[in-house]
């Protein structure tokens, strides 16, 4: 399915014309059609949502190769595949993108891709806007911390898949009932909805801060006490009995409270916080840091199980995160 049909800004079957347009618009410096009887049938759509730009693109039924250089900007580009698939090299990392796996591109990193029967929907995201939104969500000074996302997005995971659904919802809204509407308040609310889901659901270096203080949920006192205990002693041994005693309520009450607020049991929440902190430490790793040391620090005694849980949570292995920082 293609999106933003009422916002088409370019259509061509001419490769040279396409390359010139994409070079000006998205800094794609090379695009080639591959294979026998190679051809392109390119369609580009664009719609502004406050200071975020939604982009749709389809490249026809063939195979294409495109390259983009590193760009001196702090912006990111979020991309979800509607149809087809591609093999992407994003800096030093290579992985497949498909309807099950998206991409968060760091524009400062060069990218090349070979794409087959490809169409996608994406969003151009100014990092300054995302940092301001993170500050609004937490009320905390987070501007000293770099905002870093994992490049690969696992759409099969519920949280990350929800970001895709949110982007599709907004694209359908601006192409349908909100088409032609110039209401800055409504557009800003759609922008904020997208940013909140991206920051809260996709693997990034702000997750620990963001999930430390949910801004929209009234916390029962016993949940807040247990949550604060987890955050204070996440690098120490914590048992369920410790949380129940500190919270001052029964196990069943605490379990229901955590499920209502966080959608998970208290010990699962503890595991999530530890994974997030391990993730942040790997992102900011000092020379000599090893995955095993980080895992042990945050209570994961078995390196294999830690790597498995980390990969499920962030979509990449801990060793891949560590390599990215060096």
pLDDT at 217 over 70: no
Whole domain around residue 288: which residue ranges?
217-324
Residue for token digits 């347009």? 21
**Average pLDDT of the chain, as a whole number:** 85
Whether 181 and 290 map to the same domain: the answer is no
Number of domains in the chain: 2
Nearest to 92 by CA among 3, 134, 152, 172: 152
Q: Are residues 257 and 156 in the same domain?
A: no
Query: Is residue 104 domain-shared with residue 153, that is, in the same domain?
Result: yes
Listed in sequence order, the DSSP H helices in the chain are 15-26, 127-138, 158-175, 184-201, 207-212, 221-232, 240-247, 251-262, 266-283, 291-297, 303-314, 318-324
pLDDT exceeds 60 at position 158: yes
Cβ within 8 Å of residue 163, ≥6 positions away = 78, 153, 197, 198, 201, 202
Per the domain annotation, does 211 fall within a domain? no
The mean pLDDT of 26-49, rounded to a whole number, is 78
Q: Is the pLDDT of residue 26 over 80?
A: no
Residue 272 lies in a domain: yes
Mean pLDDT of 133-162: 80
pLDDT digits (tens, 9 = 90+) for 243-280: 999 999 999 999 988 887 777 789 988 988 888 888 87
CATH of the domain at 98: 2.60.120.10
CB-CB contact of 202 with 160 (8 Å): yes
- In the predicted structure, residue 189 carries a pLDDT above the cut 60: yes
Q: For residues 7 and 206, which has the higher predicted lDDT (pLDDT)? A: 7
Q: Which of 57-66, 214-223, 283-292 has the lowest mean pLDDT?
A: 214-223
Q: What is the model's pLDDT at position 212?
A: 61
Residue 172 shares a structural domain with residue 67: yes
pLDDT of residue 207: 82
DSSP secondary structure, 293-306, as one string: HHHHHTT---HHHH
| pLDDT at residue 37, rounded to an integer | 62
pTM score, whole prediction: 0.64
- Same domain assignment for residues 189 and 247: no
Residues 6+ apart with CB under 8 A from 239: none
Residue at a domain's end among 169, 185, 206: 206
Q: Mapping DSSP to helix (H, G, I), strand (E, B) and coil, where does residue 279 land?
A: helix
- pLDDT over threshold 70, residue 190: yes
**One domain, residues 165 and 268:** no
Q: Are 108 and 27 in contact (CB under 8 A)?
A: no
By three-state DSSP, how is residue 47 classified? strand
Reported as a pLDDT band with limits 50, 70 and 90, residue 282 is confident
Domain boundary among 183, 206, 229: 206
Question: What pLDDT score does 44 carry?
Answer: 93
79 and 133 in a single domain? The answer is yes
Q: Based on the fold, state whether residues 190 and 235 are members of the same structural domain.
A: no
Q: Give first-to-last CA distance, the chain, whole Å.
A: 39
Taking 50 as the threshold, does the pLDDT of residue 214 lie above it? no
> How do residues 87-118 score in pLDDT, each as one tens digit?
999 877 889 999 999 999 988 888 899 999 89
Query: Length of the chain in residues, anyone?
Result: 326
212 within some domain: no
Q: What interhelical angle do 184-201 and 158-175 show, nearest 10?
A: 160
């Amino acid at each position: 399915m293609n999106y933003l049909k009422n916002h088409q800004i370019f259509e061509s079957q001419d490769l040279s014309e396409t390359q010139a347009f994409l070079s000006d618009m998205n800094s794609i410096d090379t695009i080639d059609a591959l294979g026998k009887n190679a051809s392109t049938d390119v369609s580009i759509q664009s719609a502004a949502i406050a200071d975020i730009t939604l982009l749709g693109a389809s490249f026809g039924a063939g195979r294409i190769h495109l390259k983009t250089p590193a760009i001196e900007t702090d912006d990111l580009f979020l991309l979800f595949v509607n149809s087809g698939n591609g093999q992407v090299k994003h800096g030093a990392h290579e992985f497949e993108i498909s309807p099950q796996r998206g991409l968060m591109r760091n524009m400062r990193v060069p990218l090349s891709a070979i794409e087959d029967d490809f169409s996608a929907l994406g969003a151009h995201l100014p990092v300054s806007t995302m940092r301001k939104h993170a500050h609004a969500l937490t009320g905390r000074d987070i501007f000293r911390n770099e905002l870093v996302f994992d490049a690969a997005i696992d759409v099969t995971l519920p949280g990350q898949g929800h970001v895709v659904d949110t982007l599709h919802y907004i694209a359908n809204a601006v192409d349908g009932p909100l088409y032609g509407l110039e209401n800055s308040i409504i557009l800003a609310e759609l922008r904020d909805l997208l940013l909140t889901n991206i920051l809260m659901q996709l693997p990034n270096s702000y997750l620990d801060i963001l999930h430390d203080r949910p801004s929209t949920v009234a916390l029962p006192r016993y949940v807040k006490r247990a949550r604060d205990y987890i955050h204070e002693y996440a690098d120490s041994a914590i048992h369920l009995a410790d949380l129940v005693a500190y919270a001052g309520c029964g196990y069943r009450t605490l379990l229901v409270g955590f499920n209502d607020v966080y959608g998970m049991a208290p010990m699962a929440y503890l595991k999530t916080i530890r994974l997030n902190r391990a993730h942040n430490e790997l992102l900011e790793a000092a020379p000599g840091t090893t995955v095993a040391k980080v895992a042990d620090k945050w209570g994961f005694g078995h390196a294999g199980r830690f790597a498995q849980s980390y990969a499920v949570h962030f979509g990449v292995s801990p060793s891949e995160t560590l390599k990215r920082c060096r």
